[in-house]
A and B are shown apart, each in its own frame.
Chain A
Amino acid sequence: MNTNTVTASSVPAVSGLDRRRFLKHAALASAAAVAATRSGLTPPAQAVETDTRWDKAPCRFCGTGCHVEVGVRDGKIVGIRGDAKAEVNKGLLCVKGYHVGMILYGKDRLTQPMLRRNGRMEVITWDEAIDVVARRILAAPERFAVYGSGQWTVAEGYASQKLMKAGLANNHIEPNARLCMASAVTGYLSVYGVDEPAGCYDDLDTCDVLILWGNNMAEMHPVLFSRILERRNRGEKIRIIDFSTRRTRTSEFADDYLEFRPQSDLAIANGIAHLLIRSGTYSKEFVEKHCAFKTDTAEHTLDGRPISFADYCRELEAYTPEKVEEISGVPAEKIRMLGELFGRKDVRITSVWCMGMNQHARGTNINRLVHGIHLLSGHWGRPGDAPTSLTGQPSACGTAREVGTLCHLLPGGRVVANPEHRKQSEAIWNLPEGRLNPKPGYHTVQLFEKFCTATDKGGDIQTLFTQVTNPGQSLPNLHKLFKSKQGLEDKFLIVCDVYPTATTELADLILPAAMWVEKNGIYGNSERRTQQWFRMVRPPGNARDDCWMTIAIARRLFELGHPGMKDKEGKFLFTFKNEKGEEVPVWEWERYYDVNVDRALFEEYRLFTRLKHKDLAPYDEYVKARGLRWPVVQQADGSWRETKFRFMEFDDPYVKKGAGIQFYHSVTKDDRAQVWFAPYELPPEVPDAEYPFWLGTGRVLEHWHTGTMTMRVPQLRNAVPHSYVEMHPSDAAEKGFKNGDLVKLKTRRGELELPLWISGRGHPPRGSVFVPFFDERIMINDLTLDAVCPVSKEPDYKKCAVDVQRGSQRSARPPGPTI
């Protein structure tokens, strides 16, 4: 039956309807309804979903750490909803979160281990694959390196950390978080002596002013941004100040949009400090009680040099509002406005930032300076008065920073160079004394340089094992740091992933991984919140857990006789027992889930967390909660209490009674935080006659990281199907470019053609262009600069010099990755 005929014939004109006709039609309609139901035209009436089982998990994507509820039916995910019980997101998600369940079901999931033989990828068994890895390691343990990410679960990161540092005495382990938040870490360490924010998302609920330092929050942390917008819509007055190098969606919601020249945020922060000092509106009480002063030196070290308050003031003298305007382009009156704002005691100011401040040639310094103006002004230590960094990955904090999967760290804020710290770690791991290697390994950029350089030319990393990340697309200056691996015969790249990526292109061995709710996991979000989930569905084909791979590799090394795989009593490093006290050979995949390995590793890891007041609760507490913020401390009644605000007596149990605020990890050992001075310095590459434009890179709301997951979700891919370059309309007009034209970007490192989008998602100022990095067919990181912050070693993806020319008019699309 044609549906339109039904519509037309069964609905007469309403006004001319008498009661009898109405009844007649109603009877007809209900008869038709019954008939339609029987014929299967309409779904049967059924009001309750009994067949879908819902369970909690943190979202797989960014560092916000929203909780989702995952609906599973017949072993497959069928729906996602925001978890109303979660404090982070209160039931709301972003478009990526609502579609996160679909990332498991891309058609091209990797399902079999594959080894490159004579240039072709051939399917092999898991036993062969694990054996290949173990023998590569055994041949040259010191030339092996592991590269993971802030998407590693806590247990995965911890197992890798233990295999490398405890087992192989090899510190060449890094996470991609080095490219993402290393500057935030060095910022916290040099200011407070301990990593991670003191405040939390609750600050967003009480602040009067929100300052976004180069942070497009509406797209990058939309759920948190909506938390602020909701307060506004309820009638609260919140002033949003958007510092940015280009207009974004966030700017549309901001009260003040302050556009600054790349790198000049250093001058702006100094300008605010200058005004606080000059007008005497800095908090004398806070400074006297809680602050000491330091300056950055020519050597750019983590420790810097202590200076007096008078010296500090003298350093700031040059940063008058007029001078700052000259450097930054932000009008002097706006700088004065900010100075006055920070000078006011009656408002609460929260600063947030992410990649804008972290991926910065002076990333550590700008982090220090922003903490500095909060400390100096006393906008610190009350809910709503906080400088807080956000993260881009779901467990950049939980795994990379807390487990310490960086080349110089041990778990729990320990460093390899410190003999005391090594001793503590050896005790927990039950290792013979002196097992741990005191020399930091290579940081990420160095690591890939060494891997992509021929062995006889000093490239002393030969085998690289990557898990849960895509360096072939996300590293800067890809030609140098990744693509040059091609043709180096003795280099061996092992890639563990879920989909073919730019990295698997050059892989010698591919290991198919289980992802997200196909395995147990624990993540730690931006606000120190540790979140747990259980496996809900099975991975496809022969894909297996990353953590299992690490343990299986260690076991194979143990069998092959590597002495490091034993603790000082000769026991295998990864020994797990079930409730009956029997050892379970979890390295046999069939037995892996006979015990909860996540739980066992977490309980072992917990011992480290108490060494620097980052205490975690027992695993089972996280099973019950929607995450808990550390330090989680046991109360007299046996319950576990999380800490929202660190160093503040009213909430942090580790603060001395009566101290009010106590920086108990102060680097000066006197409970003081360090207020730093650091000068404005030119970025490593600035536009010139040959390369006259600034190039900035970043993300869009719909795609996450390198797009390997989101580009496989139709709704997300359709929203932004390919990459583009943003340009100011006047610049485009001068060049004769129209919207949609193919243009060529060229830097000293590479060139790329891509379509132009004028007045689109973002609006760069004149003389600057922006390109998102999600598209594997248009890899902007072929062009970016590999210069790093000298302290954090984090590259600057936000600024380099580029030339913009007319494209060749043909599609220059490189073929998508194939295996």
Chain B
Amino acid sequence: MTPSKPDPHTLSSRASRVVLAMALVTAISGYFMGLRQVDRAHGPGASEARQAALFPTAAPNRTSVSPAPSSQEAPTIVDYAGLGNSGLRPNAHWKSSLESLRRDDGRRGAGSTAAAALLPASDAERLLAVKRRAGRRAFDGAPPVVPHPVDATSSANCRVCHAEGLVVRDVVAPRMSHPEMGNCTQCHVPSGGGVPGVASEWSLALAANDFVGKASVGRGSRAWPGAPPTIPHATWMRENCSSCHGTTGLAGLRTSHPERALCTQCHVPDGGFAPGLAEIAELAGSGPGPGLNAPR
């Protein structure tokens, strides 16, 4: 008898032990996962609330596109047995339609900038985007305010989402158009106030102000229908077109041809939107010289 041959009895008892151990582990982990599952049942509602807090202005857009969650209240905890009858369904935002998935991906999903032909934004989309843009600026050309709380000390957190840009459903974190500027909060300040505490008592309504800022002049001009439009705004600190017009831009501002990376090959800055690059170049080489203003 060679010792290498295993005894079938021992084998079966070993196998049964392994099976038993597996069953035990599955049961225990299943139990805890079950607990977590119940905990997650709070998920949609809680994350909804958190999102609403983070992106207050984005909320209306979202609800207009997809049905709003029926209730903000946390669902009742149920056990496994009752799960089938609990009425709990996948997230309200869950997309089961292939069409809509494709649409989102094709339009501005990250990494899908292949030569897929895109339609130009519709006027309505454009209007929406322009309106949203205007809502975050004192005037066309002012740095936009930040529609969510910010880290009060460090700009590193800004870069997490804005370095490359991010789209989470209708919430767009635009890509930085001037990443070389390191001190984000120098120009971009939160619109909601970062100071905690007794807000209702201490914060007053908006500072009353009669200022009316200039609006965006609208579209660039075209030499003929179908010609590439000119750039209807200053390009100073906006050299990175993809920041607003790329796949992580607002739907109404996006380009229909993100695969063509060299924007200024066809779209040129329009005169009348100083300061342009030419002036900055001029500055770099000169000391104080005659200014823009002729003496009066």
Contact = CB atoms under 8 A, between A and B. Distances in A.
B77 interface: no
A716 to B, nearest CB: 7
B113 interface: no
Contacts of A42: 123, 126-127, 218-219
B142 A99 contact: yes
Nearest to B125: A7
A721 B204 contact: yes
A78 B99 CA distance: 45
B119 interface: yes
Contacts of A77: 211
A720 B214 contact: no
Interface in A212-269: 218, 222-223, 225-226, 229-230, 232-234, 247-249, 251-253
Contacts of B12: none
B186 A701 contact: yes
B155 interface: yes
Contact of A81 (B209, B219, B275): B275
Given A32-B122, A624-B291, A78 B214 contact: yes
Nearest to A44: B218
Indicate the member of B118, B196, B273 with the most A CB atoms within 10 Å: B196
Nearest to B252: A7
Interface string A711-726: 1111111111111100
B279 to A, nearest CB: 5
A627 B287 CA distance: 11
Given A45-B219, A95-B186, A724 B209 contact: no
A9 to B, nearest CB: 9
Q: How large is the interface on B (under 10, 10 to 19, 20 to 34, 35 or more residues)?
A: 35 or more
Interface in A40-95: 41-50, 52, 54-56, 69, 71, 73, 76-85, 87, 90-95
Interface stretch (A324-332, A405-413, A688-696, A752-760): A752-760
Contacts of A139: none
Contacts of B106: 13-15
Given A44-B218, A78-B213, A81-B141, A718 B191 contact: yes
A721 B198 CA distance: 12
A253 B183 contact: yes
A711 B205 CA distance: 11
The secondary structure that dominates the B interface is loop
Nearest to A540: B210
A73 B271 CA distance: 19
B292 A56 contact: yes
B62 to A, nearest CB: 11
Interface residues of A, number: 119
A714 B143 CA distance: 14
A80 B141 CA distance: 8
A17 B116 CA distance: 11
A47 B138 contact: no
Nearest to A702: B189
B149 to A, nearest CB: 11
B187 to A, nearest CB: 5
Interface stretch (A100-108, A177-185, A414-422, A552-560): A100-108
Contact of B291 (A3, A26, A85, A247): A85
B181 interface: yes
A635 interface: no
Interface string B134-145: 000011111101
11 contacts: A3-B125, A47-B270, A48-B217, A55-B293, A83-B275, A85-B282, A218-B183, A226-B181, A234-B180, A534-B293, A723-B195
Given A55-B293, A625-B290, A755-B195, 14 more contacts: A4-B64, A7-B124, A47-B230, A80-B139, A81-B141, A247-B153, A249-B183, A718-B192, A740-B197, A741-B197, A742-B198, A755-B197, A756-B196, A813-B201
Interface of B: 64-65, 99, 102-103, 106-107, 116-120, 122-128, 130, 138-143, 145, 152-156, 180-183, 185-199, 201-204, 206-222, 230, 232, 234, 236-237, 251, 270-275, 279-280, 282-283, 287-293, 295-296
